[in-house]
Amino acid sequence: MIVIITGSVGSGKSTKIKSLFDRYGGAGVWLPAVTQHQTRIGQDLTDLCSGRRAAYTRRTGALPPHWQEAARLDTMSFSRQGQRLLHSALQAARCGDGPLFIDEIGPLELMGHGAAPLIPQIKAQTRRLIFLAIRTSCLDAAIGLFALRPGCVLHLD
């Protein structure tokens, strides 16, 4: 069954994903916000199984030295290191049978990047509980593009 957690940026989707993982275990990826001087500048990606963490997104004005960009969407840059960790974490997570968490499906996935290539394989695991965090602004497009049939949609806005 697919459970969608939806809301706008900053509504608590990532916090809900992490609390559900802490309660039920499983595998997947979590994208906590990174702030600097109380301003959100991006997200780090954490492999929920191994605890490995990598910088995933940063605003283009806040890129650290030696940043290797894999993609750019408006003012957000996505790192190569974060993309590699995303793919390795989700590939490894496909082998389990506990709940699977993907935080988050957003504009990058709607363009076919990020977690998008793995979603059909993950969705095919019909006996598994899958939690997807999806921005409200991307919800209808993601449901259509990935042919999602959620059993439950939790709106955080």
DSSP state string for the chain: -EEEEEESTTSSHHHHHHHHHHHH--EEEE--EEEETTEEEEEEEEETTT--EEEEEEEGGGPPTT--EEEEETTEEEEHHHHHHHHHHHHHHTT--S-EEEEEE-HHHHTT-TTGGGHHHHHT-TTS-EEEEEEGGGHHHHHHHTT---SEEEE--
pTM greater than the 0.85 cutoff: yes
139 domain-assigned: yes
Residue 103 tokens read as: 């935080």
Could you give the number of structural domains in the chain? 1
Decide if 74 is inside a domain: no
Q: Is residue 89 part of a domain?
A: yes
Which CATH number characterizes residue 151's domain?
3.40.50.300
Judge whether 47 lies within some domain: yes
Q: Could you tell me how far CA 37 lies from the centroid of its own chain?
A: 24
67-100: pLDDT as tens digits: 999 999 999 999 999 999 999 999 988 878 899 9
Domain for residue 25, yes or no? yes
Residue 110 located in a structural domain? yes
Per-residue model confidence (pLDDT) at position 132: 97
Q: Does the pLDDT of residue 36 top 80, yes or no?
A: yes
pLDDT of residue 95: 78
- What pLDDT score does 144 carry? 97
**Domain region containing 119:** 2-34+43-52+82-155
Q: What is the predicted pLDDT for the residue at 97?
A: 83
Residue 62 lies in a domain: no
pLDDT > 80? residue 12:
yes
For the stretch 53-67, pLDDT in tens is 999 999 999 999 999
Asked whether residue 73 is assigned to any structural domain, the reply reads no
